């Protein structure tokens, strides 16, 4: 297998839906650090020099120059898999999913044993809602490297969307084992348990995600939602507040707090947070949830008017 360690840049986890590996191959996602590139032909070295320019541009937050550099490196040496791979990462960061998928595909064609290339190709296809192809490439990635945690995680997302919840649970658990410092597998494990109505298991999984990443707004929010359903109002309110503290623009957190205040008969507090949630939803062009917040706001206003 070829070595790409020197030329793969790290960005970290992207959101809570899909994970694109943007890290050095000796990152926490597993795999032993492999030896450095041996000396190569002058043409390859030139491509490597351009690659380094792209990496420096990424470090400086200059995405467009980085993309141009990675494209040039791939043209100078089409056999440099890391050039195609980093191009895919940069294009994905820009939000260009299909070009990113094409670049990851080229990386895999150059090096058929490049597990990360298949994993990121699958992740890009998953983001594009091409579930079956995503599943195939993620499985191929795991055939090459069964300990690649992000591939297990993204495969879990595919299975979750396909309704294969038990398989998704097993896959997320495997991702947890392989990547114990990543909160996303635990979070989505909790979400799947919620879908199955297994609230105790959901609470445990969501709390595990929060333990790993205390400022994980979606995990706090979903924990609050489960606690609210179970009638644990004070605990739910704490969870919603923590979600808002983690992300002050997270409208769901204020909406959830409003539901708690309604249940508690604290109508003025409910009006305040529901109005704030509605304004956030409106600003974020989320008309459906803005309408939901308006309905709850009207209920709070009615409750306040009828209160002694």
Domain ranges of the chain: 1-148, 183-241, 249-308
Task: Say what the pLDDT of residue 234 is.
Answer: 98
Check residue 125 and give its pLDDT.
93
Reported pTM:
0.81
- Residue 307, pLDDT score: 66
192 sits in the region (left: phi over 0; alpha: psi -120 to 50; else beta) called alpha
1-148 and 183-241 in the same fold: yes
User: Which CATH number does the domain 183-241 belong to among 1.10.630.10, 3.30.43.10, 3.40.50.720, 1.25.40.10?
Assistant: 1.25.40.10
Q: Which CATH superfamily is domain 1-148 in?
A: Tetratricopeptide repeat domain (1.25.40.10)
CA dist., res. 56 & res. 58, Å (int): 5
Confidence of residue 33 (pLDDT cuts 50, 70, 90): very low
pLDDT band at 29 (very low <50, low <70, confident <90, very high): very low
CA-to-CA distance for 68 and 90, rounded, in angstroms?
10
Encode 21-59: b = buried (16+ Cβ within 10 Å), e = exposed. bbbbbebebbbeeeeebeeeeeebeebbebbebbbebbe
3-state DSSP assignment of residue 289: helix
Contact 219, 250 (CB under 8 A): no
How confident is the model at residue 275, as a pLDDT? 98
Q: pLDDT tens digit string along 129-163? A: 999 999 999 999 999 999 999 999 999 999 999 99
pLDDT at 168: 98
């Amino acid at each position: 297998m070829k070595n790409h360690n020197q030329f793969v840049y790290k960005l970290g986890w992207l959101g809570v839906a899909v994970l694109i590996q943007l890290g050095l191959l000796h990152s926490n996602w597993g795999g032993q650090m492999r030896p450095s590139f041996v000396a190569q032909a002058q043409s390859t070295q030139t491509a490597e020099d351009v690659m380094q320019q792209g990496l420096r541009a990424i470090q400086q937050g200059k995405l467009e120059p980085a993309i141009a550099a990675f494209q040039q490196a791939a043209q100078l040496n089409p056999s440099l898999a890391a050039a195609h791979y980093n191009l895919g990462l940069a294009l994905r960061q820009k939000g260009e999913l299909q070009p990113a998928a094409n670049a990851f595909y080229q990386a895999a064609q150059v090096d058929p044993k490049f597990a990360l290339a298949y994993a990121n190709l699958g992740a890009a296809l998953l983001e594009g809602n091409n579930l079956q192809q995503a599943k195939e490439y993620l499985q191929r990635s795991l055939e090459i490297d069964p300990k690649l945690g992000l591939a297990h995680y993204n495969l879990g997302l595919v299975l979750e969307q396909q309704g294969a919840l038990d398989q998704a649970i097993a896959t997320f658990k495997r991702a947890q084992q392989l990547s114990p410092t990543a909160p996303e597998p635990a979070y989505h494990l909790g979400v799947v348990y919620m879908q199955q109505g297994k609230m105790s298991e959901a609470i445990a999984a969501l709390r595990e995600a929060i333990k790993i990443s205390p400022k994980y707004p979606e995990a706090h929010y979903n924990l609050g939602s489960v606690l609210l359903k179970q009638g644990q109002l004070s605990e739910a309110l704490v969870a919603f507040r923590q979600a808002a503290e983690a992300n002050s623009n997270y409208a769901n957190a204020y909406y959830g707090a409003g539901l708690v205040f309604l249940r508690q008969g604290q109508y003025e507090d409910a009006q305040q947070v529901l109005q704030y949630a509605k304004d956030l939803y409106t600003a974020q062009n989320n008309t459906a949830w803005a309408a939901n917040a308006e309905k709850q706001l009207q209920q709070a206003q009615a409750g306040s008017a009828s209160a002694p």
